Structure 1
């Protein structure tokens, strides 16, 4: 049975039993505790935590959620069931059915015949586990379902008790296992061998509330929940593995084609008889290709932090594994195309994003292949240094510190380092490497814990979210009479506030826009007689409740009072100009760059906008000019701006663009400008027609990370001011140079060329003067332990290139003696320095790299190089002479 069919059967099974089918949320959600959605229940957390009432009429739902877990990336391919990306099929009950319902639903799907819509698993091969004292679940499994007592096993907190890791709902769980047979391990159920007995479904019975604590079991159970909930998860990949009769989750219909492609590209073979390390690499390629593709699909781009770092790491592990298997060139395009083919039936949106996914992945491959090049050079230098300093009979070892530097600083994978070290006849100090890696992980974990915070206590607002959501009137008017239905001061509900206090005000309706979708919140005021509250921010809670953060500047206000809520009209005018201009720039961008340029974030405040988009190449000046021209042409065309309330499916049929990471309800708002010119899902406020935006001045574009670019622009009056300032500047330069403005580029280019020629001539003369002093410098050399030693501190401003040129010349002039040359020159607050040694000096044991390191210790710097020449830089120029003397003392010991 194909994976796509398993998904369909699961969904249909629960829909036919009254559950509402909920589409998978994006892998990226606005959750402070998660990089990615890592469990099927994550999108439902507000309902389980009691922050919102579930919006499902029957109180039940089902979904097949995209998930990514990356804590154990190194385990991928080693175990038979570990994927970084997986699909969690789940059914959820919010105060409706409980243990018996959940158990019955799961059993029927698993064991009903294929003809009856089930999955057709043999019930005699199913085992279950329950929590230690959960007699209720054990009795249901035995008495209602008919599972023999000997196939029901009990496990403790670590295995069969669930919580979110923070105070909130918790409860025992029951897991369903499939016995794969004696060829996979020992008899005795899941307790005896969890490889033979594969877990395929976990049923969580949320019945208690947990308190503070750490770990899986170190917390207090405070008591029962008011309503009992169900959260279950069936592993789609694991069930596919069983139904397709393959040994592991990497050989199912979704991933096996990638392994086949990898065999073709590398010449290596996968499966029985192949080395274990090769089989693991094939599985890594298959797993990471899918995870990387799905992350890019949901808007992640490679970078050095957060989500982007995880994606970069996954893609680089693919490239590394293919190289270790024997690939000699680029492989990413084939891997990505293969996995997109297998996944598109379940995720049709892949087809529309295929070109963008390829662009991101291929650019990362290109960059990493260059990294491998530079890492290889550093590795070769380290090997040369080790061999030069090691005695013939002594084991040659690459230090753990150097291996970690290659890994951490240069992105050089440790297993590639191990392979290359073996080829070079070296060992790697893995104990030292593991210690350095462990220290880094401890620092990262500590940093993550410092940043991580539990869920904000939104239960304070639940009453209003559920019973009195704010009616937003700001699309139609800028002033509304409203009733004060809530006051919060310092995290506590209050009934009144007085002058001078900071307060959160909740109104039954409001014209003030709450920050969302990149558009900043409205500024405004709440007025009632002599009372005045200045509103400086408006935030949403649960997408339903507007919280006005205000300062009471006059009078006071009580619960139940009626106030006039007024938007600062000038602020709103500037904000809608910028927000509407963002839509036009997005449309212009896609006209110029094509559909692979997709919005990745924005900020709109009065008069200013920035627009981030996924694109891997720097825009040319011509492209930027074209984007600006198309945008302003749309302004000049005075397109009507229409808004349409419709269903999500209808909006997509209209061609409306949706943004990555956004979760839309069943009803959405479509903003259309100029018919097909721009049509997007957007809940923001906008101008009535594009001419109201005024001029748009595109300031430029820049990189904000690998595969991500940013355009910045002014709109309306701010754009006019910018144009005026630029015009005045150009006119001033024209007057100064006494040319017409249209002739400025030519005149400036000619002046710049003259300046470059003059600077080049000065540089040539300066170098000639420096070289002319070579003989004078050599005359100042001293004798130290049979070495001719030349130490020179050169004038300020001497560059590193000058040092190398002079050192080369001096070494050539002194080649007939054992000469050591040490040059230093102050450049700002730094001290660049260089060491050169003649062949005769090297024969006596001098290594320029060693001398550079010793000099660096004195001047607080570091450097490196080869025996004949090495250079570095220090941060204590005042210690230059002290360093010279230290090196002379060192040479006395040779």
Structure 2
């Protein structure tokens, strides 16, 4: 076999299936689009699910892709074995109701034997045990001998995901030779050893499983295949593991160089090298697709992988942050196939560096807590750390279990791993439950599925705000209907519509639909499957029937207000890049008639100067009255023109470009103005953080800007009136009041000091002596904590001993304990004393040996607390 590089194999596969009439599509982002059932894309077919279900029309009945994927169920095994990994690339060829088993099998065999030139004698296949059709094709048409075809059961060779489309599989295996086998004399395809490696799975989606468990034949069966690119590369390069494949080995060798070690010399170090190699690939691709570190969802997966890699860097002795630079090595190997890695190279490195630096801080905190736990275990003469404590270290500080275990072993201790995994499972169950609550089902639901795939909606709203249309379908109270009466709340689908359906962050249009005898108020419009526009409305007069002709009218004022806000977000996106840096990317948006909301990637709060600069530039752009051009073209041409595509957006072959003169150009399916001057005024109302590395700007345009300014002006006038000033001299009035207040505060402070002195003279007569140390315990209510500290401070200096002051303020107990250095030297400890005294009142606190404070809840027990303080003092001094 010819040695082929991983990038070379990818291109050969895609080119081969292009030659068989397949449309080559780029990998979808790792972040699923309109699919809450997945955190991250984990298979080649996952992004194509809407085509398999008929929810969307595929751009071609034959497609081929190389899809980047992330799977994390076996994350704890990554590094420990040479075959576990979290990131991989899945090659696939797909048929949506076009060709089926005969072609899929024939082409797979041709590619493997004639293009890859793998010797036939080293190849085996498996089929589903009842799939005689597949057996017949492999045996009679391909020419495989029966002993080369293995029948396996449902667990191995039947694909299904709950209800819906499913079917049998056929897998292709490569025989690596006896040296990879096991001692079982019956070792064959399906064995768990490393001899027979499965590298291509052909799924024949030919059934529809219903709620009764019946497998109903599909009218148009589909083909879904998946070949692991890394696995194929291990075969073609005659290496043992994916970590020795050319592109992956480059990253692995870089890590060894950074650590100053050699691979395959020390198994413990090899584990760390493999962990970092795998995880930096996953992390680089995830950040490149818009995922940011956080404490939940896919952001938590990213954070966990990144911190795990950083921790193993420490084990290898690599000093400081290193993963950000390592991500650039991933880009060198994969940037040509995945341009987003090259385009976002600096951004990816910055996100990784910031998170890695944060982890350096938290891991130090975790070490301190673990050291305290070890100390407590020793004091109790125990040697097992609780699973709950270990899980808290993991969940809060990103402390991996193996790190906790290693540190405990150094002290001759262990950890309750069963309880740790129990806590881990609880967390997984919570996350899975939350995800399932959002999920609408693996294959989706459509209230107008009964219309079939031929009933589509033509959208006219880019050019018109009204249309004459025909009713294709009605849904009343959740069910299909032929007609609807006055007062009914309905969903309806038309053959054509001017109503924009909610998508891309833009809300749906409102307006009216009517016949001569019927009026319908439209309150929303959303997209259903196949791009159908679903109109939400209520019949206010008459009745409506399927098939009737209707007149649609969009609320023009509402639409224009939305367009102002939407066009403003395009100006904002470009201006933020100019002011803050090219790393800024849109992370979400909402545009409605009243405001706009724009989320973007940035790592710190915007300054007042930056916000002002953005506002000024956008309003200057509005004054230039720049024309807005909207046109459709193919995706490649749009990208060549420099149009910006957004993270997580799904684009077809034909895209709509919104170009604002030479200022901004984005791919966008929303409705926009014809000239930026129609925005009128632009105003940022707020800027704040919504997630780690994500900021949010909210603002207004047009008449809503005037409303916002009017509101501010009214507030200004009311504030001025309250200050007995005018808006013009209000600042001077505030400065005068502030100055007078400072003078009063000084006078009050002087009075308090005099009162404390008088009180000190009164309290000093109550001094006792405990083992040669002067001791004073007093009840002093009505004092704030700061004033109580000042009183105790003065008394300590006056008596040159220990002072305990406790009192009630607004129902809350305050306790302060202070002592001289001489008292500390004799055994006095303020922190321990105040803790026990405060516990009497139902509170707690602590502090240094010479000074401490605490709070309490039950003021009726202040005297009891003071008695406890005296008792503790006596014990401390022996």
Instruction: Give the structure-1-normalised TM-score.
Output: 0.87
Contact 1:578–1:715 under 8 Å retained in 2: yes
Aligned to 2:290: 299
Residues 1:32 and 2:36 are matched in the alignment: yes
Aligned to 2:182: 186
Deviation at 1:87, TM superposition (A): 1.1
Q: Describe the shift of the 1:736–1:448 C-alpha distance in structure 2 as closer, same or farther (beyond 3 A).
A: closer
**Alignment partner of 2:121: what SS?**
helix
Aligned to 1:352: 343
1:525-540 equivalence runs, <5 A: 525-540=512-527
Aligned to 2:550: 563
Q: Describe the shift of the 1:189–1:781 C-alpha distance in structure 2 as closer, same or farther (beyond 3 A).
A: farther
Residues 1:42 and 2:57 are matched in the alignment: no
Deviation at 1:252, TM superposition (A): 2.1
**Alignment partner of 1:517: what SS?**
coil
**Alignment partner of 1:466: what SS?**
coil
**Alignment partner of 1:183: what SS?**
helix
Aligned to 2:64: 62
**Alignment partner of 1:590: what SS?**
helix
Aligned to 1:271: 263
**Alignment partner of 2:246: what SS?**
coil
Deviation at 1:38, TM superposition (A): 1.3
Aligned to 1:339: 330
1:315-394 equivalence runs, <5 A: 315-387=306-378, 389-390=379-380, 394=381
> After the TM superposition, which of the residue ranges 311-320 and 436-445 deviates more from structure 2?
436-445
**Alignment partner of 1:670: what SS?**
strand
Residues 1:717 and 2:694 are matched in the alignment: no
Q: Describe the shift of the 1:785–1:826 C-alpha distance in structure 2 as closer, same or farther (beyond 3 A).
A: farther
CA distance in 1, matches of 2:589, 2:396: 32
> After the TM superposition, which of the residue ranges 171-180 and 694-703 deviates more from structure 2?
171-180
Q: Describe the shift of the 1:152–1:523 C-alpha distance in structure 2 as closer, same or farther (beyond 3 A).
A: same
Aligned to 2:130: 133
Aligned to 1:77: 79
Residues 1:10 and 2:13 are matched in the alignment: yes
CA distance in 1, matches of 2:431, 2:864: 37
Residues 1:689 and 2:675 are matched in the alignment: yes
Deviation at 1:202, TM superposition (A): 1.0
Encode CA deviations 1:742-774: one digit per residue, 9 max, x unaligned: 876677567657757865886797689679867
CA distance in 2, matches of 1:337, 1:266: 17
CA distance in 1, matches of 2:523, 2:102: 51
Aligned to 1:167: 163
Structure 1: runs of 5+ lacking an equivalent: 113-117, 213-218
CA distance in 2, matches of 1:824, 1:343: 68
Deviation at 1:627, TM superposition (A): 0.5
CA distance in 2, matches of 1:326, 1:530: 81
CA distance in 2, matches of 1:452, 1:783: 71
Deviation at 1:231, TM superposition (A): 0.7
**Alignment partner of 1:458: what SS?**
coil
Contact 1:91–1:232 under 8 Å retained in 2: yes
Q: Describe the shift of the 1:429–1:31 C-alpha distance in structure 2 as closer, same or farther (beyond 3 A).
A: same
Q: Describe the shift of the 1:434–1:41 C-alpha distance in structure 2 as closer, same or farther (beyond 3 A).
A: closer
**Alignment partner of 1:11: what SS?**
helix
Encode CA deviations 1:118-147: one digit per residue, 9 max, x unaligned: 223233222322223223323433443344
Contact 1:486–1:505 under 8 Å retained in 2: yes
CA distance in 2, matches of 1:292, 1:344: 14
Pick the aligned partner of 1:230 from 200, 219, 223. 223
Deviation at 1:42, TM superposition (A): 1.3
Aligned to 2:635: 648
Deviation at 1:148, TM superposition (A): 4.0
Pick the aligned partner of 2:96 from 94, 99, 112. 94
Aligned to 2:665: 679
Aligned to 1:215: none
Contact 2:292–2:351 under 8 Å retained in 1: yes
Q: How many residues align?
A: 867
Aligned to 1:287: 278
Pick the aligned partner of 2:402 from 415, 438, 441. 415
Contact 1:577–1:687 under 8 Å retained in 2: yes
Contact 2:806–2:862 under 8 Å retained in 1: no
Contact 1:855–1:886 under 8 Å retained in 2: no
Aligned to 1:115: none
Contact 2:55–2:530 under 8 Å retained in 1: no
Deviation at 1:550, TM superposition (A): 0.6
Deviation at 1:171, TM superposition (A): 1.2
Contact 2:806–2:866 under 8 Å retained in 1: no
**Alignment partner of 1:704: what SS?**
strand
> After the TM superposition, which of the residue ranges 617-626 and 372-381 deviates more from structure 2?
372-381
1:460-479 equivalence runs, <5 A: 460-462=447-449, 464=451, 466-479=453-466
Contact 1:853–1:864 under 8 Å retained in 2: no
CA distance in 1, matches of 2:766, 2:400: 48
**Alignment partner of 1:223: what SS?**
strand
Q: Describe the shift of the 1:732–1:128 C-alpha distance in structure 2 as closer, same or farther (beyond 3 A).
A: same
**Alignment partner of 1:133: what SS?**
coil
Deviation at 1:156, TM superposition (A): 2.2
CA distance in 1, matches of 2:600, 2:95: 39
Encode CA deviations 1:815-855: one digit per residue, 9 max, x unaligned: 978x9x69676678x76777889998999999957984996
Deviation at 1:378, TM superposition (A): 2.9
CA distance in 2, matches of 1:842, 1:142: 92
Residues 1:252 and 2:245 are matched in the alignment: yes
- What's the C-alpha RMSD, in Å, of the aligned pairs? 3.8
Aligned to 2:302: 311
Deviation at 1:169, TM superposition (A): 0.9
> After the TM superposition, which of the residue ranges 481-490 and 862-871 deviates more from structure 2?
862-871
Aligned to 1:216: none
> After the TM superposition, which of the residue ranges 245-254 and 749-758 deviates more from structure 2?
749-758
Encode CA deviations 1:489-525: one digit per residue, 9 max, x unaligned: 1221101111111110111111111111111111111
Aligned to 2:172: 176
CA distance in 2, matches of 1:89, 1:295: 19
Pick the aligned partner of 1:622 from 603, 609, 614. 609
Contact 1:172–1:204 under 8 Å retained in 2: yes
**Alignment partner of 1:30: what SS?**
coil
Encode CA deviations 1:775-812: one digit per residue, 9 max, x unaligned: 9779879999999998877656734x778888889899
Contact 2:164–2:443 under 8 Å retained in 1: no
Contact 1:151–1:189 under 8 Å retained in 2: no
Q: Describe the shift of the 1:562–1:408 C-alpha distance in structure 2 as closer, same or farther (beyond 3 A).
A: same
> After the TM superposition, which of the residue ranges 141-150 and 777-786 deviates more from structure 2?
777-786
Pick the aligned partner of 1:606 from 578, 581, 593. 593
Q: Describe the shift of the 1:760–1:348 C-alpha distance in structure 2 as closer, same or farther (beyond 3 A).
A: farther
CA distance in 2, matches of 1:679, 1:768: 71
Encode CA deviations 1:89-111: one digit per residue, 9 max, x unaligned: 11112233322322222222122
CA distance in 2, matches of 1:47, 1:207: 15
> After the TM superposition, which of the residue ranges 647-656 and 71-80 deviates more from structure 2?
71-80
Instruction: Give the structure-2-normalised TM-score.
Output: 0.89
CA distance in 1, matches of 2:793, 2:404: 33
Encode CA deviations 1:363-410: one digit per residue, 9 max, x unaligned: 1122222222332333344444444x34xxx35444433332222233
Aligned to 1:202: 201
Contact 2:509–2:525 under 8 Å retained in 1: yes
